[in-house]
Amino acid sequence: MSVITIERKVLEKNDELARQNRSLLAQKGIFAINVVSSPGAGKTSLLERTLEHLAGRLAVAVIEGDVQTDFDAQRVAKYNVPAVQIVTAGGCHLEANLVHDALGKIDLSHIRLLIIENVGNLVCPSNYDLGEAMKVVVASTTEGDDKPLKYPGMFRNSSVLIINKIDLLPYVNCRIETLRANALRINPSLTVFDTSCTTGAGIPAWCDWLLARTTPGAT
């Protein structure tokens, strides 16, 4: 019982900070997404392709979360967008207080889209609200088509599914129809995009969706 009580208190404190983050972002008119996946699904590559496609069209800022190193922030820096690296030093997920601190390091006055790249993990990040508008889960074809069934909490708590690395479908044991069906069985409300960061397939549709969400008056 004490373990449950402690966990509840931790989550309650996190949720209060998340509400503060969400309020700040709403005041600034910023649409924030929390991008989650297992390690190696291609979150950072997807972020790079997204920044390339949105360059000159949308003011974007990035918060990078990783267990160690600032490699991902270095990759993002070449796109000339504000970026803050959070190193969790072994922590398996970002928390609202870390995002709150990172937001204080970004000039938010002209930003319209905030992309938070979470630590590669399909378990813990599903329970932690960061103040984002929605979670975007990335599942790669190289992981097989049963990920939604193994990690239902993450797919249930996400609003968007990006099926990445579709260029590898001929070479991996994954049926994209099964992957999509498994995800929609868990969460029928998911918006689904099929992408390849190598060929660029699906990236324009994904970016057009982001542009629509950041248009004044969009819901």
Ordered domains of the chain (ranges, CATH): 2-213 (3.40.50.300)
DSSP structural state of residue 31: E
Provide the mean pLDDT of the chain.
Answer: 92
Is it the case that residue 130 has pLDDT exceeding 90? yes
pLDDT tens, position by position, 76-119: 888 999 999 998 876 788 999 999 999 999 999 999 999 999 99
pTM for this model (two decimals): 0.92
Quick one: pLDDT band at residue 74, thresholds 50, 70, 90?
A: confident
What pLDDT is recorded for position 2? Answer: 47
DSSP structural state of residue 193: E
Integer Rg of the chain from CA: 17
| Alpha-helix runs per DSSP H in the chain | 2-28, 43-54, 71-77, 96-103, 147-150, 152-156, 176-186, 203-213
Is it the case that residue 218 has pLDDT exceeding 60? no
